[in-house]
Amino acid sequence: ALMITDECINCDVCEPECPNEAIYLGPQIYEIDPARCTECVGHHEQPQCVQLCPVACIPVNPQHVESRETLMQKYLRLQAEK
């Protein structure tokens, strides 16, 4: 999963573009729910939020480093919830 750092300027660009609805506005800045972020695996070649963020504040979450296989399983689980 990815994460948003405190360099976020709350520009609102990333939130509507997340295919997994993993991005939400937290108390200060936007945040990413690691349980829902597949790094866009299953939807897109590249993480959409990273591509759009004007201040490049969305790195991999060091607490949630995941393989592509794990991310794909998360994608399939999220799809099954729909």
Single residue of 28, 35, 52, 61 touching ligand SF4 by CB under 6 A: 52
Judged by DSSP in three states, 73 sits in: helix
Q: Which secondary-structure segment (H or E) carries 76?
A: helix 68-81
| 15 contact partners, CB below 8 Å, separation of at least 6 | 23, 24, 25, 30
Site track for ligand SF4 across 10-49, x = CB under 6 A:
xxxxx---x-x-xx------x-x----xxxx------xxx
- Which residues contact ligand SF4 by CB under 6 A? 2, 4, 8-14, 18, 20, 22-23, 30, 32, 37-40, 47-49, 52-53, 55, 57-58
